[in-house]
Amino acid sequence: MKKLLIAASCAMAMFAGGAQAQDLRIAFDVPYEPFEYKDENGELTGFEVELASAMCKELEANCEFVIQAWDGMIPGLLARKFDLIMSSMSITEERAKRVLFSDPYYITPGGWFGPESFNTDVTDLEAMDGKTVGVQRGTTMDTYVTENMHSAVTIKRYTTAEDMVLDLEGQRIDVAFVDYPVGEQTILNRDGYKEVGEPVKLGEGVGVAMRKRDAKLAKEINAALKTLKENGTYDSIMAKYFNYDIKI
């Protein structure tokens, strides 16, 4: 009798386990204002963090937020250190070979930033001949400049935006082509710098990255993101952080 009871309770525990909320660990690379950063109390916050929280509520999942440096993002995901990346990872063909992306949940344009004295049309390859352009290594801006402008300009690739801004100040580069919000935070708030060209929408936007085998999870996430975009939750989070539209 006792054995039977134990067996029954085990079976029940297993069923209960099946219905239990799933655990998801989500990785962010901080600070990347206003997408993910720590506020003055040291709490993780930002557009993507709030969107991730809302998504977890929608999925009825227990979410844990993990901080991971950018260089180790995809290796960390593949090594199962975490299950999702929601750290402004643009969807690219090369990345899609290693990870599975959800539908895009935002897109920010690339912005051209330079000193006040810069008056060249950045879309005119002949005028740009001989100029030096700074980009962040591996970004969609890097790919764009590498593919479209390498014949005319010298490209300098930086690991961090800070290093690039230092070289822009030091006049080692003539113009920086960076993710618009990054340029807004690091270049436009300095004296003597301005936007020097129209923002360019590049790539397919930013998606949630997960391991290739998690196809079922991807479907659930796509459904959750769709609901958030439609029921107004997405818009209210976006309005907290941006004065321009990044919805896709």
Partner 1 sequence: MPDFIVEWLNSNEIFTALTLMEYWDGLVTTVHLVFLSLVIGLIVAVPLAILRTVKNPFVSGPIWLYTYLFRGTPLLIQLYIIYYGVAQIPGIQETFWWEIFKEPLYPALLAFTLNTAAYTTEIIRGAILSTPNGEIEAAKAYGMNWFLRMRRIILPSAARRAVQAYSNEVIFMLHASAIASIVTIVDLTGAARNIYSRFYAPFDAFIFVALIYLALTFILVFAFRKLENHLLRHQRPANS
Amino acid symbol at 24: L
Quote the CA–CA distance of 190 and 172 in Å, as a whole number.
Answer: 17
The residue with tokens 């990054």 is: 182
Q: Give the residue, chosen from 169, 204, 214, 220, that forms a contact with partner 1 under the rule CB under 8 A.
A: 169
Quote the CA–CA distance of 81 and 172 in Å, as a whole number.
Answer: 39
171 binds partner 1, rule: CB under 8 A: yes
Quote the CA–CA distance of 150 and 96 in Å, as a whole number.
Answer: 25
Q: Give the residue, chosen from 156, 211, 226, 229, that forms a contact with partner 1 under the rule CB under 8 A.
A: 156
Quote the CA–CA distance of 145 and 122 in Å, as a whole number.
Answer: 11
Q: Do residues 104 and 91 make contact, with C-beta atoms less than 8 angstroms apart?
A: yes
The window from 39-47, 101-109, 167-175, 181-189 that contacts partner 1 (CB under 8 A) reads: 167-175
Nearer to partner 1, 167 or 195 (CB): 167
Q: How far is CA 204 from CA 105, 106, 108, 150, 194, in A?
A: 10, 9, 10, 22, 26
Q: Give the residue, chosen from 13, 57, 124, 172, that forms a contact with partner 1 under the rule CB under 8 A.
A: 172
Quote the CA–CA distance of 93 and 32 in Å, as a whole number.
Answer: 23
The residue with tokens 């204002």 is: 33
Quote the CA–CA distance of 232 and 209 in Å, as a whole number.
Answer: 23
Enclosing H/E stretch for 103: strand 100-106
Interface size with partner 1, residues (CB under 8 A): 21
The window from 160-168, 189-197, 216-224, 230-238 that contacts partner 1 (CB under 8 A) reads: 160-168
115 binds partner 1, rule: CB under 8 A: no
For partner 1, the binding residues in 128-147 under the rule CB under 8 A are 137-138, 142-143
101 binds partner 1, rule: CB under 8 A: no
41 binds partner 1, rule: CB under 8 A: no
Q: How far is the CB of 170 from partner 1 (least distance, A)?
A: 3
Nearer to partner 1, 39 or 93 (CB): 93
Which residues of the chain form contacts with partner 1 (CB under 8 A)?
A: 74-75, 94-95, 97-98, 137-138, 142-143, 156-159, 163, 166-167, 169-172
